Amino acid sequence: MIEDPFLRKLERAVQLSEDERYALQSLTFNRRTLPARHDIATGDVTDRVYLVMSGFACRYKTLPSGNRRIVSFVLPGDLCYMHDAGAFGRDLRVGALTPCSVVDLSRSKLVELIGLHPGISRAIWWVTLRELSRAREWIVNDTRPADRRLAHLLCELLVCLQVIQQADEHGFEFPVTQVDVADALGISHVHINRVLQSLRSSGLVAWSSQHVTIPDVDGLRAYAEFDPAYLCFEGFGP
Amino acid sequence: MIEDPFLRKLERAVQLSEDERYALQSLTFNRRTLPARHDIATGDVTDRVYLVMSGFACRYKTLPSGNRRIVSFVLPGDLCYMHDAGAFGRDLRVGALTPCSVVDLSRSKLVELIGLHPGISRAIWWVTLRELSRAREWIVNDTRPADRRLAHLLCELLVCLQVIQQADEHGFEFPVTQVDVADALGISHVHINRVLQSLRSSGLVAWSSQHVTIPDVDGLRAYAEFDPAYLCFEGFGP
DNA sequence: CGCCCCTTTGATTGTAATCAATGAGGGTGG
DNA sequence: CCACCCTCATTGATTACAATCAAAGGGGCG
């Protein structure tokens, strides 16, 4: 049940034993489907952890002005609210950008598994550290001009979606609105449209009818100054 | 030796046993003093972890353009390169902004302690999650206009320095240049100067001769939309 | 058919970068 | 002891990037 994107992604970094894989699979608590624009989680403390199985979601905060800033995307196989619930995430929410299929897990049971299985512990560490590394890269990305910023985001999405087999060599389905991407980049929805058109006219990106195509991945990466090392899909040291 | 700011900060969140405190104290490997502007660590993989005992440092990345972006400050009692070394941090460096006193620890021994002592494990988790929470707040902060951004940073520093008793109710010593702060906010050094003067003339901030004074903390917090919850110095749930 | 959401375009304003230069300490060597 | 230099802070002028305001297409769905 849990199987598909979650374990596949974990095992990209950490080899799990048969036991560990089984233990994780038996955690499933409840499965549900959320419509777009609905919150998966708010800042409340619960014993629930959420595993997104399909669809695009995001972690975000809302400013007093009403502006929303997305601080990270949540893709299939990503765990939410493991650590960002409660004290750390009072104002952090997780929202569905497209219809999402979500599995609820018991946090306390997962914590227990972490204590029992070194492989699971390593895997959860890896997930957390990747989030940290990614957040820092987003901070850096915020210093780039908007066109490179968008290019960088698309490069990141391409890699992350390839890992879960939701992207091919040159593109991916991306049923997310320009407004959402604007909030992830911290720019206005008008500006992202202009910036996108400039990338289109340079031939670096094609994005229409919910499909992104990147004809020249190396070219876009160079333009975005994108180096996938920070995502650390290539293994996890100590 | 390790004692002062490190344990004090850890025990803010996690109660350590006598054993655990002793184990951590016996980790000290080597102590040195670095001049300002020198790197404490580069992206190389080593068995060293660095504990800053005094002075201000930062984690940063350098863009191809030569611009530096600081992604977080490192204050006395902060551990560096525990997790951000190697694969995750190839392009992440830690640099001293002022002269710093640094203790080198053995990473492998610390990892061993984490495995042996639940309190230490919790403490290291807490440190890591606070970094993650802080990074996300910095992403959000990047969407604010520059004056509020600076105000927010100063509010954060005030809280973090108060925890290690390096700030009083209304201010702190801050021997860091405007250029450094500009790189932490992602704005130019000219602009930070102007923005600072606007905060000065509103009476919200006084910053001269390496000392920051915040006459009306609540006022500055309101202006910056600052809520210290994300720093989670008030305890750590599960 | 018409409404709604998303995208696109135009015009204007505003924020911040860049370029250029001056001022204000602190330290060093003649 | 003073002249010089270096770094950091400050100011002015200009340019560029991006927000905002306003409005018009376009496509899907009831």
Q: DSSP letter string over chain B?
A: --HHHHHHHHTTTSPPPHHHHHHHHTTEEEEEEE-TT-EEE-S---SEEEEEEES-EEEEEE-TTS-EEEEEEE-TT-EESSSSSGGGGTT-EEEESS-EEEEEEEHHHHHHHHHH-HHHHHHHHHHHHHHHHHHHHHHHHTTS-HHHHHHHHHHHHHHHHHHTT-B-SSEEE----HHHHHHHHTS-HHHHHHHHHHHHHTTS-EEETTEEE-S-HHHHHHHHT--GGGG-TT----
Q: What is the mean pLDDT of chain B?
A: 92
A62: number of CA atoms within 13 Å, CB side?
Answer: 9
**pLDDT > 70 fraction of chain B, expressed in percent and rounded:** 96
Mutate one of A69, A74, A136, A148 to test the B interface: name it (highest B CB count within 10 A).
Answer: A136
Residue B35 confidence (pLDDT)? 93
Residue A238 has pLDDT above 50, yes or no: no
pLDDT tens digits, one per residue of A103-113:
999 989 999 99
Query: Confidence class of residue B65 from pLDDT cuts 50, 70 and 90?
Result: very high
pLDDT tens digits, one per residue of B150-176:
999 999 999 999 999 999 999 999 999
**Residue A149 and residue A128 share a domain:** no
Evaluate whether B159 touches B169 at the Cβ level (below 8 Å). Answer: no
pLDDT tens digits, one per residue of A13-31:
889 999 999 999 888 778 9
Residues of A in contact with B126 (CB under 8 A): none
**Does residue A127 belong to any structural domain of this protein?**
yes
Token pair of B71, please? 């992604």
**Residue A131 and residue A57 share a domain:** yes
Q: Tell me, in Å, how far CA of B187 is from C1' of C5?
A: 36
Strand D: list positions under 7 Å from protein Cβ. Answer: 7-13, 17-22
Residue B145 has pLDDT above 70, yes or no: yes
**Does residue B141 belong to any structural domain of this protein?**
no
The predicted model gives B133-153 an average pLDDT of: 98
**Residue A113 and residue A16 share a domain:** yes
Non-local CB neighbours of A145 within 8 Å, separated by 6+ positions: none
The predicted model gives B95-119 an average pLDDT of: 93
**Does residue A116 belong to any structural domain of this protein?**
yes
**Residue A186 and residue A70 share a domain:** no
pLDDT tens digits, one per residue of A129-184:
999 999 999 999 999 999 999 999 999 999 999 999 999 999 999 999 999 999 99
pLDDT tens digits, one per residue of A56-88:
999 999 999 999 999 999 999 999 988 776 667
Residue at a domain's end among B136, B161, B182: B136
**Residue B185 and residue B82 share a domain:** no
Structural domain span for residue B156: 146-231
pLDDT tens digits, one per residue of B4-30:
789 988 888 889 999 999 999 888 778
**Does residue A159 belong to any structural domain of this protein?**
yes
Residue A233 confidence (pLDDT)? 81
Question: Is there contact between B190 and strand D, defined as CB under 7 Å from any strand atom?
Answer: yes
Q: In this complex, do B72 and A136 lie within 8 Å of one another by their Cβ atoms? A: yes
Which has the higher per-residue pLDDT, A176 or A45? Answer: A176
**Does residue A63 belong to any structural domain of this protein?**
yes
Residue B236 confidence (pLDDT)? 62
Residue at a domain's end among A136, A168, A188: A136
Residue B104 confidence (pLDDT)? 92
**Does residue A238 belong to any structural domain of this protein?**
no
The total number of structural domains in chain B stands at 2
Residue at a domain's end among A80, A111, A136: A136
Query: Confidence class of residue A235 from pLDDT cuts 50, 70 and 90?
Result: low
**Does residue B62 belong to any structural domain of this protein?**
yes
Residue closest to C16, CA→C1'? B191
Non-local CB neighbours of B44 within 8 Å, separated by 6+ positions: B85
Residue B1 has pLDDT above 60, yes or no: no
**Residue A130 and residue A200 share a domain:** no
Q: What is the mean pLDDT of chain A?
A: 92
